[in-house]
Structure 1
Amino acid sequence: MMQEQSLPIDIATLTQSEPNDLQAQMVTAVILALGSNHCAAEYLPRVREKLTTLGTLECSVAFQNPDFTATKEQPKPDYINQCIYLELGSAMSLQQLQQLFKLFEGECHRVRESVSILPALSQAELAKTQLPPNTWRQVTMDIDILLVRLEPSQLNDSIQQDNDSWLVMADRYPFKAHEYAGITALIAKKGLF
């Protein structure tokens, strides 16, 4: 892991913005966190290939991490995580990007608990399903936006930003250790700031 002082910017000093406040803003690049705790060797390459349809990629190394929500009573499989720098071929709104990323997750057979019928079933109904309990929490692909770079024309008085107009997604900060390590490696590799 790279040391923070080796970076040309302190990530903590970047402006944090709520995703809802940026929905219509035009984005030119993003730093993403990819994660999978089920068939990562299949789904990570698949989603990276999908991302290349949007622009050019730079990838951090993949990290294997325990699921921080796992307990002794509810063990969960480890995650494979990777950070991606995606320079978009054409700017698009944050809302469009989020919709595309949900589509990419779905193409990787991602089932979100919020739309799954499993949590709504009673214990008796759950017992009748053919799915073992450990499959209820499997995540084939998770794509999270950590940082966005806005088109310069999108900056206004409410978004005061230096450093090439990068913003931290407030709902993702502070970053997890593997996210920070991936971002740090990408920044050092690409000179993003």
Structure 2
Amino acid sequence: MMHKERVDLNLETLKKCAPEQLQTQPVAAVLLALGSNYQAEKHLLRVRESLATIGEIELSIAFQNPDFTATPELPKPAYTNQCVYLILTAPLTLQQLQQRFKKFERDCHRQRLTELQTPIKQVTMDIDILLIRLANNINSLSNKDESEWIVMADRYPFKAHERAGLKELIATKRIDC
């Protein structure tokens, strides 16, 4: 069973940093947003299996959401979104994590096409880092991790489904508050 972590979901009080500022920092845990609008069940399963190879995962329920860029003239497929809490087996730098997540997206055959190439993007898998907990704040007296969560500034404010997924992980005690 996964050990519980304390998370303050009052996002306004959490430190916000641009990912560029944290590239070389060792990360112990992340909160992720997954999204797919094409064969979502297949690709979500595959990426959850990949994530489990680098740590312990806890999942929110999967939410289905309309594509907010859709119009009556240009309907687009709905997205299936899910939040994931991942405690890494061994710390990785943020840069290493981002590279791993891009590989996981490619393993799902993610194509990064511009809007001009195709008006309706089929997104097999999108992995976004919402929050990170750095691996370098262990209190030597209590051997307790005292690091705080850091919000990825490029992802904030979070979308409604991201907030819902994070709140659900906390409310169901998958992440202890």
Range into which the TM-score falls when normalised by the shorter chain? 0.7 to 0.9
> Following the alignment from structure 1 to structure 2, what is the Cα–Cα distance between the partners of residues 48 and 57?
8
- 2:129 equivalent to 1:145: yes
Does structure 1 conserve the Cα–Cα contact (< 8 Å) formed by 2:9 and 2:167? no
Whose Rg is larger? 1
The verdict on how the C-alpha distance between 1:191 and 1:42 changes in structure 2, with shifts beyond 3 A counting, is closer
> Following the alignment from structure 2 to structure 1, what is the Cα–Cα distance between the partners of residues 72 and 38?
19
Q: Secondary structure at the match of 2:43?
A: helix
For 2:78, the equivalent position in structure 1 comes to: 78
For 1:65, the equivalent position in structure 2 comes to: 65
**Which letter does structure 2 place at the counterpart of 1:93?**
T
> Following the alignment from structure 1 to structure 2, what is the Cα–Cα distance between the partners of residues 56 and 190?
12
Measure how far apart 1:70 and its partner are: 1.2
Structure 2 counterparts to residues 34-49 of structure 1, below 5 A: 34-49=34-49
Unaligned 5+ runs, structure 1:
1-6, 120-132, 155-162
> Following the alignment from structure 2 to structure 1, what is the Cα–Cα distance between the partners of residues 30 and 113?
26
Q: Secondary structure at the match of 1:175?
A: coil
Measure how far apart 1:190 and its partner are: 2.9
Measure how far apart 1:164 and its partner are: 3.3
Q: Secondary structure at the match of 2:86?
A: strand
RMSD over aligned Cα atoms: 2.0
Q: Map Cα deviations across residues 39-66 of structure 1 (whole Å, 9 max, x no partner).
A: 0011000000000000000000000000
Taking structure 1 as the reference length, what is the TM-score of the superposition? 0.78
Higher strand share: 2
Q: Secondary structure at the match of 1:137?
A: coil
For 2:143, the equivalent position in structure 1 comes to: none
For 2:4, the equivalent position in structure 1 comes to: none
Unaligned 5+ runs, structure 2:
1-6, 139-145
Taking structure 2 as the reference length, what is the TM-score of the superposition? 0.85
For 1:29, the equivalent position in structure 2 comes to: 29
One of 148, 157, 176 as aligned partner of 2:159: 176
Q: How many percent of aligned residue pairs carry the same amino acid? A: 57
Higher helix share: 1
For 1:53, the equivalent position in structure 2 comes to: 53
Does structure 2 conserve the Cα–Cα contact (< 8 Å) formed by 1:152 and 1:165? no
